[in-house]
Every structure is written in structure tokens, then in C-alpha cells.
Structure 1
Amino acid sequence: MRFRFCGDADCPDWVLAEINSLSRLSSIKLKLLAQVVADSWLDVKGLNIEKVRKLLSDSKLDNTGDLKATIACINFILNSAVRHGCDESALASELQQLGLPQEHSQALRRVYVDRQDTLTKQLRSQSLRINRLQGVQVLESPVPGFIYLELTIQEKQERILIKKTQAINLLKNLKSIELNLNSLQTN
């Protein structure tokens, strides 16, 4: 089967296996755990594992491995749903199709709805960033018809020799990309 929260792909087998662990928690504990996991995306320190252990101290999870797998499953569900822009009702319905009880699906749906905007902003701020470009300068070249582009990436400067026509085309393409990205952000 294909699931919208997985980008119209099959759900990973390990997530299917962890649905059983999620079902063993109460829906209230699942909601609280999902809130802690979602909030950890925004916290620089990351997930507070002690807070999670305290929260789930009386749960039916057997060991630390189950706890970590459950956290990873919730993280995957929320991350994937946000990344693929899944509708809240589709998320709840698909989680039920995977075997999660209705109360649990609704608890995850509520966390998803409450945190969707902030999680989307967080994912956008992290996406497509391998090395952040810090600066660009255009310098004259001694070779006629060519220019130097001096790029500053991670405090290093690199010079690239390109034709002036290539630089004009590059600028035109980058402006077009910027317009497309801005239109996507407003949607």
C-alpha cells in the first residue's frame, strides 16, 4: 500500500513493527511523547532522554531499545508527514490502516496539527544546505570576455573563472529560481 505521509510510497517495515510498541502506550502518553519529540526539533539541545524516561517510567515498554525505537518511529511519522505536506485527516486515517488504535492516531494527529507550522519552518531552514554560501564578489579578469566569481563558503574563498555570458545566464536562472521558491513559500 502507498501512504501519503510517506510520500505516496510504502511504509518502511521498521515503522510497521513499531506501531505495536506505540499501541502499548496509552493515547495520553503517546501524545505527550509526540509533543516532546516534536519540541526536540526546535531545541538546540535535542531530545531530553531523561524527560522521556520519566514520562514513560510506568509504561509497558520493555527496555531502552524499545524506547529509542518508539521515539524514532514518532519522529519518522511527524517528519515524513511534514515533509510531504500530508493532510491531518489522511495522517490519522493512514495510521489507523497501519494498525494504530483510533485514539492513538487522533493523539498523533493533534500534535501534528499543533506543531505543523513550526516544524515546517524548521525543515525548510535545514533543507538543501550542504555548505552555506556566505558571499559572492565579481572581479575583473585579465582574460577578455571572462570574469572571476569569488565565492566565500565556510570562511574559505574560491575563485572561479567563467565567461561573462555564463555569469549573465547564471544570474537570470538564479532569479527565476528565487521567484519560484518565494511563490512556494507563500503557498
Structure 2
Amino acid sequence: MEPKETSAIRKVAIFGASGNFGTPITTALACCFEVTIVTRLESGSLFPPGIPVVRAAYTVPDLTKALTGQDAVVCAVAPAGVEHQTAMIDAAEAAGVKRFIVDDFGWGPRTLTHGLPEFRESLQKRYIGWAHAAKCAEANPNFTWTGITSGNPIDWARTYPRPDSILQLIDNAY
């Protein structure tokens, strides 16, 4: 099957818009794209004014309806929401979304736990999203995906006081 002619991405939906990664991503996207925030029905989060908010059950039919007309989706949900990413990907593909950015900021597709077994379960859930997006893109040439690994958010993490820890920055952390 040949991919259809591609056009510019203008309309971008974001999941996790109120989170630690989602808030700055939403702000950055809003300057240049038509952004829509997609959130859970029961979410009590506050969102920036002027950006449309669609509340939906995290089921493929409801998410497909919410994502219809979007060109791209950015998934920046917190670890507790990552388990819904497969439904988000399936809905995006069904809605005709061209590009899906998987939730993986700070981790990477092959990150080892580096002796931190407490991260193993979270990483395994994230890998499911990478693998599912790749499988969908392989089967559907009109659907593409991207994984962005930005590295762990040191500036954000160091705002949490830990009296029993020492943070040593080398070369101003750059």
C-alpha cells in the first residue's frame, strides 16, 4: 500500500498537558500549532485558557472520536497513564492521525535500569508503547510515530529537597 500524499502538520492533540513534561510541551506547541488537549473524563486539571479541551473515556471508540481531524498526537502522560497508550495509538491510527509521539520523554527505548530495579516496571510499560506504535506504522504506511528521548529532567528533579542526598553538578550540568 502506498502512503497518501503528506501535508503539513497543523492540528496537534496532546495527552498529559498538565503534567511535568506536558505543561511546557503544550505551551511550546500552542505558539505554532492548533492544539487540542485530550484528557480523562474525571480529570480536575487546569489547562491554559484559549486551548480547546476534549474530555474522553480512554477507550478506542471515544479516543478515535476525540482525535478525528488531528494531524499529530503527543503523549506526555504521567507513568500511571502510560498503560492507556496502546488505546491512544489505536485510536490515533483509526482517526487518520499521521504522526504519534510516544510517551517516553527522559527514558529512551532501550534504557536499562542501571541497577535501579524500581524503574523496571515503568520502563516495561513504556516499551509497550514503542513496540505498538512501530507495529502499527509497519502495517499502515499512512501512520508514523516518533520517540523523543530528552534525558532525565535534572533541573526539575533537583527542585525536590533530599536532605540525605548530595547533588554534584559537573560543568554546570551541561
Q: TM-score, length-normalised on structure 1?
A: 0.25
Specify which structure has the higher proportion of helix: 1
Q: TM-score, length-normalised on structure 2?
A: 0.27
Point out the structure with max Rg over C-alpha. 1
